Amino acid sequence: MTFAVGLNHFLLLGAFLFVCGAVCMATKRNAIGILMGVELVLNAATINFVAYAHYNPIFQVEGQVFALFVIVLAAAEAAIALAIVLNFYNNHTTVDVDTAEELKG
Amino acid sequence: MDTLNDILFYVLMATTCICALAVVLTQNIVRAAAWLLFALAGVSGLFFLLGAEFVGSTQLLVYVGGTLVLVVFGVMLTAQGPFVNMRIGAAEWAIALAVGLVLYGVLSTSLIISNPPQSDVNRHVDATMPDSSVLGSSLLGQGQASPTGFLTGMPPAMRRERKPMAYLLPFEIVSVHLLVVLIGAAYLARAKRRRAV
């Protein structure tokens, strides 16, 4: 591994963002904080796609197309998740996920 | 890549990493949203650096302009009472940080050991078309402009040239999917009407 910026640098950055998102999902009790962790994880995946699109010429189109799909699906996911969170807030007057325990056996 | 690109990469990487860490570490949800804004902007800067202008601008428009505004509205609509405590204990923090460090160690060591093939030097992309117009013609169903080549990572006997592909149908599916999802979200989040008895 050299110091000139290459594919590995982008993949390491993607791994870092993924870990940040995973830890964020695990540690936040606010449902919207968990949503932010999901956004970080999806961004890590997008960075990997675009980095491969740049460094591997035969995936030039595929990497960018899948990155666009990830962005659009993340927008859809955020809209649905916020609608669910608002419904949850209407029913429980809180967004603390620890209070969502009706389905606990 | 020349020196300026390297410096830009390190600046953007530092911005993105620090902001992503701050999203995890801050306890205030509004501040987390602000840090997330800068992290997403840094990622879009990285996309511009990688020559993916269209993906970078889509990231700015959809994520920074759309999704994050949605998240901030969610934060405002679900305001907490002043005495609601949503912190987690120190033991949980320690476990989460340990798991995160182990996960990052596994990911980075496996990445460095596997050493994915880089072929930036022999990029044989058609220089007459910029990246975004190749992408656009592929999304319009004309795959001829996309580069062909041999797939790496296969035994030589199984090597065959990759056919150019077009992505018109996935593009249409994903746009209809977005429409359906947004209608569903509006239905889910609508104001409940009291049933007249």
Q: Could you report the per-residue pLDDT of B149-197, keeping only the tens digit for each?
A: 666 666 677 766 767 778 889 899 999 999 999 999 988 888 666 666 5
Residue A99 at interface with chain B, using a CB cutoff of 8 Å: no
For residue A13, how many C-alpha atoms fall within 13 Å in the half-sphere facing its CB? 29
Best residue in B7, B23, B129 to probe A by mutation, most A CBs within 10 Å? B23
The ranges assigned to domains in chain A are 11-92
Residue B53 at interface with chain A, using a CB cutoff of 8 Å: no
Question: What residues 79-108 of chain B have any CB closer than 8 A to a CB of chain A?
Answer: 80, 84, 86-88, 92-93, 96-97, 99-100, 103-104, 107-108
Which residues of chain A neighbour B71 with C-beta distances below 8 Å?
32, 35-36, 39, 78, 82
Please state which CATH class domain B1-79 belongs to: mainly alpha
Q: What is the pLDDT of residue A81?
A: 92
Q: What is the pLDDT of residue B122?
A: 45
Q: Are A70 and A47 in contact (CB under 8 A)?
A: no
User: For residue A22, which amino acid is it?
Assistant: A
Q: Are B29 and B69 in contact (CB under 8 A)?
A: no
For residues B39-56, give the mean pLDDT.
Answer: 92
Which residues of chain B neighbour A5 with C-beta distances below 8 Å?
1, 5-6, 9-10
Residue A97 at interface with chain B, using a CB cutoff of 8 Å: no
Secondary structure letter of residue B62 according to DSSP: I
Residue B174 to residues A11, A52, B38, B164, B169: CA-CA distances in angstroms? 26, 22, 27, 21, 9
Q: What is the pLDDT of residue A2?
A: 46
User: For residue B14, which amino acid is it?
Assistant: A
Position B73 pLDDT exceeds 50: yes
Which residues of chain A neighbour B115 with C-beta distances below 8 Å?
1, 8
Between A31-55 and A7-27, two packed helices, what is the crossing angle to 10 degrees? 170
Q: What is the pLDDT of residue B121?
A: 47
pLDDT, one tens digit per residue, over B86-102 is 778 888 899 999 999 99
More confident: B82 or A45: A45
Q: Is A96 helix (H, G, I), strand (E, B) or coil?
A: strand
Q: Which CATH number fits domain A11-92: 3.40.50.150, 1.20.120.1730, 1.10.287.3510, 3.40.1280.10?
A: 1.10.287.3510
Round to whole Å and give the CA distance between B13 and B111: 18
Residue A102 to residues A97, A105, B85: CA-CA distances in angstroms? 11, 8, 21
Name the token pair of A59. 């995936």
Round to whole Å and give the CA distance between B111 and A17: 15
Residue A41 at interface with chain B, using a CB cutoff of 8 Å: no
Q: What is the pLDDT of residue A1?
A: 40
Q: Across the interface, which of B9, B23, B74 has its CB nearest the CB of A5?
A: B9
Cβ distance A39 to B139 less than 8 Å, yes or no, reads: no
Query: Which residues, 6+ apart, have CB-to-CB distance to B46 below 8 Å?
Result: A10, A13, A47, A50, B9, B12, B13, B16, B56
Q: Which of B32-46, B75-89, B107-121 has the highest mean pLDDT?
A: B32-46
Percent of chain B with pLDDT over 70: 76
Residue B11 to residues B1, B8, B21, B46: CA-CA distances in angstroms? 15, 5, 16, 10
Round to whole Å and give the CA distance between B123 and A52: 12
Q: What is the pLDDT of residue B124?
A: 47
Q: Which ipTM value was assigned to this complex? A: 0.90
Residues of chain A whose pLDDT is less than 70?
Answer: 1-4, 105
The partner residues of A19 in beta bridges, in order of sequence, read: none
Query: Which residues, 6+ apart, have CB-to-CB distance to B117 below 8 Å?
Result: A56, B152, B153
Round to whole Å and give the CA distance between B24 and B28: 10
The ranges assigned to domains in chain B are 1-79, 129-147+162-192
Mean pLDDT of chain B: 82
Q: Across the interface, which of B50, B78, B80 has its CB nearest the CB of A50?
A: B50
